[in-house]
Amino acid sequence: MLRVPGGRVVATSDVLVEGRHFRRDWSGPYDTGRKAAAQNLADVVAMGARPRALLIGFGVPGDLDAAWAEQLYDGLRDECDLLGAVVAGGDVVRAPQVILAVTALGELPGRALLRSGARAGDVVAVRGRLGYAAAGLDLLTRGAGGPPHLIDAHRRPRPPYEAGAEAVGLGATALIDVSDGLVQDLGHIAAASGVRIDLDGAALPIPAELGPDGRTFVLTGGDDHAFAGTFPRGTALPATWLAVGRAVAGEGVTIDGRPHGLTGWDHFRH
């Protein structure tokens, strides 16, 4: 968050490298654009902010079709359109593989939601799907067949962007978009807030269609860009928010009071 004379701006930046964060043979350019935009727009929304603009740093290999770049742009633009944001500029360079360096800028209509605001006693709640994108990626990785909507979930997230303004309105104390996996991202809130987050194993939504590894996908899969927040005890949560745990004294993330033994997305393993 940047305070400027008379206002505040939030900014976030991600780098996506072909072969690590996406594969051109697994996702088309349009979906790649939607997804690259979504993950940064969701980051802005998770601060309680309103996305306004994207800057795109675009690394282009020599063999890339112009049509690929045009469809990528269409995807970026259409995802921005959902929120009234625009692709405002950027940089185009030659590169050995496709690189997408996305910066999202947003304005804060009200208070900022930070990772550091959770307090012991808060309710932890989730808005949006968990595990679907991870299940789809697993199907692609194994070359296995499976429900097309799982693969679609990997290719194009559909973050419930309204979660940001809702969370502000509900008095949320912290909010994050689930990009690295639920346990890992709640761990960021726990660390920044100086609390432990204890998930209620029985309250976690684990749809049968995610298959035998559903629980792992729900706890560690990130690309759905659900939102996870903390709310003062007694907050009347609408049905779109699912309470999945509590903030308590301590540190880290536990499930039913016990260590979870799970890892989320490792930025250096992939």
Q: Which of 70, 91, 209, 256 binds its own copies (CB under 8 A)?
A: 91
Q: C-beta of 19: minimal distance to its own copies in Å?
A: 7
162 binds its own copies (CB under 8 A): no
Closest to its own copies by CB, 258 or 267: 267
Alpha-carbon gap, residue 38 to 50, rounded angstroms: 13
Alpha-carbon gap, residue 100 to 92, rounded angstroms: 10
Q: Which of 36, 47, 98, 101 binds its own copies (CB under 8 A)?
A: 101
Closest to its own copies by CB, 6 or 143: 6
Q: CA 248 → CA 3, 88, 195, 196, distances in Å?
A: 32, 42, 6, 5
Q: What is the dihedral of CA 46, 51, 53, 58, to 10 degrees?
A: 30
Closest to its own copies by CB, 96 or 259: 96
Alpha-carbon gap, residue 72 to 67, rounded angstroms: 8
Show Cβ contacts of residue 98 under 8 Å, excluding neighbours closer than 6 positions: 17, 18, 22, 24, 58, 59, 60, 61, 64
Could you tell me which stretch among 48-56, 130-138, 153-161, 244-252 binds its own copies (CB under 8 A)?
48-56
66 binds its own copies (CB under 8 A): no
HSE-up of residue 58 (Cα within 13 Å, Cβ side) = 23
22 binds its own copies (CB under 8 A): no
Site for its own copies in 113-132 (CB under 8 A): none
Task: Please give the DSSP secondary-structure letter assigned to residue 218.
Answer: H
112 binds its own copies (CB under 8 A): no
Task: Please give the DSSP secondary-structure letter assigned to residue 63.
Answer: T
Could you tell me which stretch among 73-81, 209-217, 247-255, 261-269 binds its own copies (CB under 8 A)?
261-269
List residues binding its own copies (CB under 8 A): 2, 4-9, 11-17, 19-21, 52-53, 55-60, 88-97, 99, 101, 103, 105, 107-109, 267-270
